[in-house]
Amino acid sequence: MNILETNNVCKQYDGHTALDSVSLKVPQGIVFGLLGPNGAGKTTLIRIINQITAPDSGTVLFDGHPIGPDNISKIGYMPEERGLYKKMKVGEQAVYLAQLKGLTKADATRRLKEWFDKFEIGGWWNRKVEELSKGMQQKVQFITTVLHEPRLLIFDEPFSGFDPINANLLKQEILNLKDNGATIIFSTHNMASVEEICDHIALINKSRKVLDGTVGEIRQQFKLNIFELGYIGDFESVTNIIEQFVSIKENAKGAVNHVTGELKSGFDYNQLIQSVLSAGAQITQFSDVLPSMNDIFIKAVNQNVNTVFN
Amino acid sequence: MRKILTIIGREYLTRVKNKSFIIMSILGPLLFAGLMIAPSLIMNMNNTEVRIVQVVDSTHIFRGQLPETDYIKFVYMPDANLQKYKSQFSESGFYALLYISHQIVNSDNAVSLYSDKTINLDLRMHISNAIEKRLENEKLRSCGVDPGILSAVKTNININTIKMTDDGREESDNMTLKLVLSYLMGILIYIAIFLSGNAVMRGVIEEKTNRIVEVIVSSVRPAQLMAGKIIGVGLVTLTQFALWIVLTFSIYSAVAPMLMPDTAAIGVEMAQPLMSQGGSQLAQAQPTNDEMADELKAMLGTVGNINFGVIILSFIFFFLGGYLLYGSLFAAVGSMVDNEADTQQFILPLSAPLLLSIIVMTGTIANPDSPMIFWLSIIPFTAPVSMLTRIPYGVPYSEIFLSAALLIATFVVCTWLAGKIYRTGILMYGKKSTLKEIWRWIRQ
């Protein structure tokens, strides 16, 4: 079941195309990474999902129905450009933002108290936002985003401006939200965090979707047939055999010899392993080295892959 | 709808709870009440002090001839030795020394008033009037005019301006009161529109620079946010006015009787005979008072003829209309920029019509029915100020309705345009928008 679908969404601004026929399917209950370089169109897409701007063409479905004002209370959004009213008291402000999401004042106050207790920030209630540190403000911002218990959460560059401790806390909270059944769309440049928490990603480049799939699938797609091999046996003879199948990148001699290499085209790992075994070596370790999301990101963007995976 | 109310509530409460609002609400009435009380208080203080003027008269024709009042007395010196009296002045205890030289018949500068204090205007006027009158009589008598004729030709003209209304009634008409009302309303509505428009603009810029606006427009539509802000700020301005009016009159009515018991009483006593039979007692006092009394009488007569209902309703309507028109445009300007410094280029052309109507206001007083002012009071951008400056002079209902209808139509169109600029502008960070871009936002 997809909580959110976009079908051929297009958007033009002042003569330049921000989104060119972007279709996404976001399954329920996952963390969905929306990746792309600056200016690719991520924020435009997110604004369309939040109904801040309307697409020129294409449709957005929420729970299988065209998205509308009723869905606003089911979505929580933390934009990249975010902030709070500086002169307003923390508690008052959080209640106000929750009311705009459709919560009653009493409900908002009760839930806020719970969150404030959880984050141990109960003492901030009557302080003005401008008196808080940046990190404290980010915590308040996060609480106001999730307070109305939205089914779909959208974080645009959530870690920008967070110190490592708060970033970690945020990561933990995002995973908690997922465990509690929420779906999270997560736009970022931070590839390390993508590998850690995303189940599914889509990469947008130059206003088009260039990659889409689960993290595992995509890494398989981009695998370069690089492997690591550990064996016990005669270093010289095995090296000679291996060289027929692969270009060796690293070759280390030791109690256990280690080779890192890239398979030449026309061969597969089984052929390689059989030859090594027939030379009388004992294999202690063999692993396929998958590219990091960072490598995939750079590669996909540089190649400007035009194939659309579905 | 509930969300708009929530937004209005926040805009209203945060502003009303703001220190500067509270300070203005207290200082304003204190200032206004002070302005109302001070003049009469100062006059009162001067009047209660008896001032004795030493008269050194080298012509000898004024001895015993200068009229005295309760607070102004004259003492005539036997000789005309100015130097002697001047040198003794500081010990003499007189308030002032009046010297009348021989040259009085030929020269305008023959009379001097010496004092170690600053001479009040009313004392100077009193003396100058008395001498002029006495001298005129002297000159006429020396030409052989009979004193009986002199008293017979004494005249005092007071022009009653009377306005004939369409239904044939005649109303006494006083320009002074209308002028004051006209000025007051024009300036008041100008300040109100301009300040609240600015407050809206600053609010929009605040939301943009705080970067909270995107969070909010993910919950409500930009039009709702803009409408909520404009209505909220408008209510704050109305609250401020209401507080000013109520507090000013409370302070005035509480303090005035304490500080100046006579004046309050005199006001009532003066009004009654004036209304009935022309203030003859006061008219005798002196010529300047005479004119003042006539003016006051005319003003009091006019008060009853001014249609305050129309004035108050028009004020509220034209304030709201003008404010909604300008408020939405100011909101659009706020959305186009990243900081207040960048607003100048937009604010100037935007406030030009308001400024024009304030400048032309002086002309309204000279001729409330001139074509220029008529058109300014019809054109929606100048109407709020110009129409209000005209209204105390009486404006046909048809013109008021025409002006009001045009104002409503323009405000609807402008709000719509402003809304289009606003919803795109608030999400543009870090760049100044060109007019060309803004035109595109409107067409989108």
Could you state, in order of their start, the residue ranges of all structural domains in chain A? 2-220, 224-289
Tokens of B412: 């609807």
Does one domain contain both B99 and B210? no
Asked if the structure places residue B149 within a domain, the reply is: no
* CA separation for the pair B319, B321 (Å, rounded): 6
CA distance A140 to A134: 10
**Shortest Cα distance, chain B CAs vs residue A144, angstroms:** 10
| pLDDT (0 to 100) of residue B173 | 62
Q: Could you read off the pLDDT of A29-77 as tens digits, one per residue?
A: 999 999 888 888 888 999 999 998 889 999 999 998 999 888 888 999 9
State the ipTM, two decimals.
0.79
Q: What are the φ/ψ torsions at residue A211 (nearest 5 degrees)?
A: -150, 145
Least Cα separation, residue B218 to chain A (angstroms): 6
| Residue B161 included in any domain | no
Does residue B33 belong to any structural domain of this protein? no
B118 φ/ψ angles, rounded to the nearest 5 degrees = -80, 130
Does B129 share its domain with B190? Answer: no
Q: What is the mean pLDDT of residues A107-121?
A: 90
Please count the structural domains in chain B. Answer: 2
The two three-digit tokens of residue A85, written as one number: 């009213």
Residue of B210, B217, B219, B423 to mutate, testing the A interface (most A Cβ within 10 Å of its Cβ): B219
Low-confidence ranges of chain B (pLDDT < 50): 262-288
pLDDT tens sequence across B288-316: 455 555 656 666 566 666 677 788 888 88
Which residues in chain A touch residue B220, judged by CB atoms under 8 angstroms apart? 100
Chain B neighbors of A84, CB-CB under 8 A: 210, 212
Is 90 exceeded by the pLDDT of residue A217?
no
B69 and B180 belong to one structural domain: no
- Which residue is closest to B17 within chain A, CA to CA? A88
**In whole angstroms, what is the distance from residue A305 CA to residue A221 CA?**
12
Residues B106 and B253 reside in one and the same domain: no
Query: Of all helices (H) and strands (E), which one includes residue B263?
Result: helix B261-277
The answer to whether the CB of A217 falls within 8 A of the CB of A187 is: no
Q: Examine residue B3 and state whether it is found in any structural domain, yes or no.
A: no
Residues of A at the B interface (Cβ-Cβ below 8 Å)? Answer: 14, 47, 50-53, 72, 75, 77-79, 81-88, 96-97, 99-101, 144-145
pLDDT at B172: 58
- Dihedral angle at the C-alpha atoms of B199, B201, B204, B207, nearest 10 degrees? -60
Q: Are residues B129 and B263 in the same domain?
A: no
How many C-beta neighbours within 10 Å does residue B316 have? 12
Question: Do residue B211 and residue A81 have CB atoms under 8 angstroms apart?
Answer: yes
Task: Just give the CATH number of A2-220.
Answer: 3.40.50.300
Coil, helix or strand for A217? helix
**Cβ pair A79:B3 closer than 8 A:** no
Say yes or no: B380 and B231 in one domain. Answer: yes
Chain B residues with beta carbon closer than 8 angstroms to that of A47: 214, 427
Domain assignment of residue B284, yes or no:
yes
Architecture (CATH level 2) of domain A224-289 = 2-Layer Sandwich (3.30)
Calculate the alpha carbon distances from A142 to A111, A149, A211 in Å: 14, 12, 29
Q: Per-residue pLDDT tens for A134-192?
A: 888 888 899 999 999 999 999 998 887 777 888 888 888 889 999 999 999 989 877 87
What is the pTM for the complete model shown?
Answer: 0.74
Is there a single domain that holds both residue B112 and residue B211? no
Query: Do B257 and B299 fall within a single domain?
Result: yes
**Do residue B207 and residue B255 come from a single domain?**
yes
The answer as to whether B20 is a domain residue is no
Is B354 domain-assigned?
A: yes
Residues B309 and B264 in one domain: yes
Query: Is pLDDT at A310 greater than 70 in this prediction?
Result: no
Share of chain B residues as helix, strand and coil, in percent rounded to the nearest 5:
70, 5, 20
Where in the sequence is the domain holding B354, given as residue range(s)? 175-443
Asked whether residue B34 is assigned to any structural domain, the reply reads: no
On whether both B326 and B435 belong to a single domain, the answer is yes
Any idea what the CATH number is for the domain that residue B111 is in?
A: 3.40.190.10
